[in-house]
A and B are shown apart, each in its own frame.
Chain A
Amino acid sequence: MRNQEKTDFIERYVAAVGRQLPRRMRADVEGELRSSLQDMLEDRVRTLDRTTDEELAVEILKEMDPPGKMAARYTGTSYLIGPRLYPSFLMATKILLLILVVMHIIGMPLTLSESGSGDALFVLGETLRSLIPSILGASGLLVMIFALLDRVVLKADESGEKGWDPRKLPAVRTPNLVSTARTVTLIVFAAAAMVLINFYPEWIGITYYSKGGWQHISALTSAFSTYLLPLNLLLGLDILLNLVLVRQGQWSPLTRWGKVVLFILGMALLIAMISGPPVTYLSPEEMEPVGGQDFDLVPLLIIILILQIFRFVQFLLRHRLYIQIPLKQ
């Protein structure tokens, strides 16, 4: 075996490790690894009275870690979403998947009415075809948001760990405890809602399959723009409050009453949107391709309002934010 081939195995190993290292340390590590492997080779030849052949080079390299593992020893383990936020990420992903699936299922009857009842399987296939890219796109966005949050939360954790006080630990059973998973999920969805209403308001509407492709009708009216500022303010304050909650890990009187104010403002805004000029409307003419009935999202807003009232009462009861009337003197 020629000397060149023996060296080639070492060079291949060094290059395979180097490829998996950051550029700033690559040349240095490669140089040291190469030099050390050649030292090893020479040492074996001298002490074991061997010749420098392919077999010996392979023998030495087999004693080393595989290139990926070797490179990882230099760089350490890196991750995009850490253990602290991983449960929240899973929860948000499940909710997101559910929303996307429900949205696509809602669009199916419209698609069916357009394409004819005989095409049910075709409609199902087309729905799945559009669902998969939606899931991939939304999941990618979710990963980005969580990776960013992970850096923020982690930093907050690190600064908090320096001067932590055991006396500030919440009791084992208390309504004060904040669920990080739930709160981070709320932050992510509030941020997504802000992006949607500010940058992609036309996405709010009806999507159906017709004429060989997916059609979309935007349902927001010009009246919606009057609610944009208060909606942004509410969502922004909600994100801020939730960030504080994640950082503090428990409810304080200030955050508790802040949440109450946000609940009331949110419900007032919903009532204004329901009773004022319609924020969503599609005329029978616009709805012609999917049956010709007019379309309005007011029932959905009413359902959201009822859910908000229910959540508000639940919050008041959980945090005992009600006046106790003494029944007996």
Chain B
Amino acid sequence: MTQKQLDTMGLELRRGVIALAVLSQLRQEHYGYSLIKLLNEQGLEIDQGTLYPLLRRLESSGLLKSEWRVEGPRPRRYYRTSGDGNEALRVLGQEWNKLVEVMEGLLS
């Protein structure tokens, strides 16, 4: 197996959890760049090309709400989870915990 194949598999693995990670951090309001920095600081690297389209998709599904505001030098779009988003986070969080348990059992 080549490094490229390994990288692709790693990317696929992370892709599935990015939406959950984003929802978890948007219980508090953030704009795009602050969210990228926050996730990167916590060890989940995500680029703008992945995050912004994902934010749009989550918003059009009704899981996020957003508004443009000028706080600081320029207008920014602030996101946070909606009621449906919080519920989705709760359900997906439970799924995640089960998955972690199962995977730990499989990998041990």
Assess the A70–B49 pair: CB atoms within 8 A: yes
Query: CB of A43 within 8 A of chain B?
Result: yes
Assess the B74–A74 pair: CB atoms within 8 A: no
Assess the B32–A65 pair: CB atoms within 8 A: no
Assess the A43–B49 pair: CB atoms within 8 A: no
The interface bits of chain A over 56-76 (1 if a CB of B lies within 8 angstroms of the residue's CB, else 0) are 000000011100011001100
Q: How far is the CB of B3 from chain A (nearest CB, A)?
A: 21
Assess the A38–B52 pair: CB atoms within 8 A: no
Query: CB of A32 within 8 A of chain B?
Result: yes
Assess the A31–B49 pair: CB atoms within 8 A: no
Q: A36-B32, A36-B33 are in contact. Are A31 and B68 (CB under 8 A)?
A: yes
Q: Measured between alpha carbons, how far is A25 from B57 in the docked complex, in Å?
A: 12
Q: How many residues of A contact B (CB 8 A)?
A: 19
Query: Which residues 49-104 of B sit at the A interface, judged by CB distance below 8 A?
Result: 49-50, 52-53, 56, 68, 73-77
Residues of B within 8 A of A32 (CB): 32, 52, 77
Residues of B within 8 A of A38 (CB): 73-74
Query: CB of B8 within 8 A of chain A?
Result: no
Q: A36-B32, A40-B33 are in contact. Are A31 and B75 (CB under 8 A)?
A: yes
Query: CB of B48 within 8 A of chain A?
Result: yes
Q: Measured between alpha carbons, how far is A124 from B35 in the docked complex, in Å?
A: 67
Q: A29-B52, A63-B47 are in contact. List 12 more A-B contacts (CB 8 A).
A: A32-B52, A35-B74, A35-B75, A36-B32, A36-B33, A38-B73, A39-B33, A40-B33, A69-B49, A73-B52, A73-B53, A74-B56
A interface list, Cβ under 8 A from B: 25, 29, 31-33, 35-36, 38-40, 42-43, 63-65, 69-70, 73-74
